[in-house]
Amino acid sequence: MDIRSLTAAQNYAVARPATQADPDHAGMAQGLRSTFQDFAATLKHSEQMSEAAMTGQADPHALVQALAQTELAVETAVIVRNKVVEAYQEILRMPV
């Protein structure tokens, strides 16, 4: 057997698991899921607080606080989205 083909086979065997899901990184997906759920909960709370304020059942201070939290959450989501788009565009500009 040629040494080059043996080295290639060994390198392939080492690189092969890189294409499979790593169960140790499942925590990252769970972290993203909880982040998205928190974002949705913040928006829902703000909407409920707005409805309650329109019917006179909520304190105006609580409404302002809920809207400020929602504004912060949306601004954060927009910043993250912009960074993801920027990274994607940078990858597209890479020479192949």
The more confident residue out of 93 and 2 is 93
Torsion angle of alpha carbons 36, 42, 47, 51, nearest 10°? 150
Domain that holds residue 45: 35-96
Residue 52 forms part of a structural domain: yes
51-79 mean pLDDT: 93
Specify the number of domains making up the chain.
1
Helical H segments across the chain, by residue range: 3-15, 26-54, 60-93
Contacts (Cβ under 8 Å, ≥6 apart) of 77: 39
User: Hunting for tokens 């912009």 — which residue is that?
Assistant: 82
Residue 45 forms part of a structural domain: yes
What share of the chain in percent tops pLDDT 90? 56
Residue 96 forms part of a structural domain: yes
Q: Which of the four pLDDT bands, split at 50, 70 and 90, describes residue 7?
A: confident
